[in-house]
Amino acid sequence: MTPPAASDRLAFVAGAVAAAPGERVLEVGCGHGVLVTALAAAVGQGSVVAVDRSPRMAAAAVRRNAAAVEAGRVRVLARPLTEAGLAAERVDAVVAVDVRAFWTPPAPEWDVVARVLAPGGRVVLGFSVMRPEDRARVPAAVARLAGERGFAVTATTAAATVPYETVAVELRRSACG
């Protein structure tokens, strides 16, 4: 049986990440691994590290991406990002969808991102707009918490996905960060 395609929401975020062949990507909160599949296809011989705090979700991501895992292009870790042991990693992009830890203090996840993101790299955070006030509130909270770690928002885009609008916030290291 062929696994279902990415939802409109995840396809939109994958487009916002714009992973290129050869890149190294970290997905935080990978869930069932649907976005991992799209990212692995985009990076080709690059690599994807996927982290999810739920062993059940990580196992599902491994099953969904079994060929890429076996080929060594995808690695799935079942633990919180702050405990994932990624100190030696360097990635070109970090992506997370609906991972509240990035906009809810104290947000130590940003410290990990600051350590693993390669120079010139980018962070893309997607979120579902569940309430109208989230459209401005979440990007503002992301900007504040990421700004404390030397990141600045470089783009915010939105898509009319179902059942909720999806917003993607892109960040890069600030000029003074």
pLDDT tens track for 41-55: 999 999 999 999 999
pLDDT at 74 over 80: yes
pLDDT at 4 over 80: no
Average pLDDT over residues 14-39: 97
Binning pLDDT at 50, 70 and 90, where does residue 175 land?
confident
Average pLDDT over residues 155-163: 95
Binning pLDDT at 50, 70 and 90, where does residue 5 land?
low
The C-alpha atoms of residue 70 and residue 82 are separated, in whole angstroms, by: 25
Scanning 30-148, the segments in alpha helix (DSSP H) are 34-43, 55-64, 66-70, 109-116, 134-147
Q: What is the DSSP string of 77-88?
A: EES-GGGS--TT
Domains of the chain: 8-173 (3.40.50.150)
Scanning 44-133, the segments in alpha helix (DSSP H) are 55-64, 66-70, 109-116
How many Cα atoms sit within 13 Å of 29 on the Cβ side? 14
pLDDT at 16 over 60: yes
Residue with tokens 């062929």: 2
What pLDDT is stored for residue 87 in this prediction?
Answer: 86
Residue with tokens 């003074």: 176
What pLDDT is stored for residue 174 in this prediction?
Answer: 82
Average pLDDT over residues 25-31: 98
Convert the pLDDT of each residue in 98-156 to its tens digit.
Answer: 999 999 999 999 999 999 999 999 999 999 999 999 999 999 999 999 999 999 999 99
- Say if CB 78 and CB 54 are below 8 A apart: yes
CB atoms within 10 A of CB 152: 15
158 strand-pairing partners? 167
pTM reported for the whole predicted model = 0.94
Kindly tell me the number of DSSP H helices and DSSP E strands found in the chain: 6, 7
* Maximum distance among all Cα pairs of the chain, rounded to whole angstroms: 50
The C-alpha atoms of residue 20 and residue 73 are separated, in whole angstroms, by: 14
The C-alpha atoms of residue 174 and residue 125 are separated, in whole angstroms, by: 17
The C-alpha atoms of residue 72 and residue 86 are separated, in whole angstroms, by: 16
The C-alpha atoms of residue 163 and residue 48 are separated, in whole angstroms, by: 28
